[in-house]
Amino acid sequence: MTKEEFQACFDKYFDAIRNYLYYRSGDTELATDLAQDVFMKIWEKKMVLENGRIKGLLYKMASDNFISHIRKVKVKNDYLQSMPLAFKTEPSESSMDYDVLKSRYEKILSALPEKQRVVFLMSRMNGLTYQEIAERLTISVKAVEKRMRNALGQLRTGLQVSILLLCFYFLGL
């Protein structure tokens, strides 16, 4: 595989693989890391890929990477569970608060209608402009703006409640 062929494959499939892994894991950083691992393996092995089989192979590799990661996390968690309590450290309040907000954000994001979620992720995760999103989805820029406005409104409403509760908690009210 030449550098140009690899670059074309990467450009064409990376976002789709990362989004697939995000929907399986719910974690953007993990999805990005695992997607990068898939393409690194292809590059390192200089795999010769047939045009019709590339997509299926990439998804299979991504799925295998995800399952492998889950198994590693399970082994680590099992080990930590077996440790004596004296060696365990309690998470700080700020990390718990962050986890609560992150969990709430991901829950709201997953509850968005599919069209709004796709536009939101393309804009925020992939860094695409509204014009680029409109071209890729073959819809008008106004439709992209409306979907984004609705998605942001739902996120804002859902997160305001969590932020207010955290403020009350910290202020002792």
Report how far residue 146's alpha carbon sits from residue 160's, in angstroms, rounded to the nearest whole number.
21
Q: Which residues are CB-neighbours of 129 under 8 A, at least 6 positions away?
A: 123
Q: What is the reported pTM?
A: 0.46
pLDDT for 155 equals 83
CA distances 98 to 94, 105, 127, Å, are 6, 10, 23
Domain boundaries, the chain: 3-85, 91-171
Stretch 146-167: mean pLDDT = 80
Q: How much is the mean pLDDT over the chain?
A: 81
Tell me how far the alpha carbon of residue 96 is from its chain's centroid.
20
pLDDT for 129 equals 92
Q: Within 10 Å of residue 130's Cβ, how many Cβ atoms? A: 18
pLDDT for 97 equals 66
Convert the pLDDT of each residue in 26-58 to its tens digit.
888 989 999 999 888 888 877 666 666 788 888
91-171 under CATH 1.20.120.1200, yes or no: no
Residue position matching structure tokens 């719910």: 26
Least confidently predicted of 55-69, 82-96, 156-170: 82-96
Report how far residue 49's alpha carbon sits from residue 6's, in angstroms, rounded to the nearest whole number.
10
Whether the pLDDT of residue 84 is over 80: the answer is no
pLDDT for 138 equals 92
pLDDT for 147 equals 94
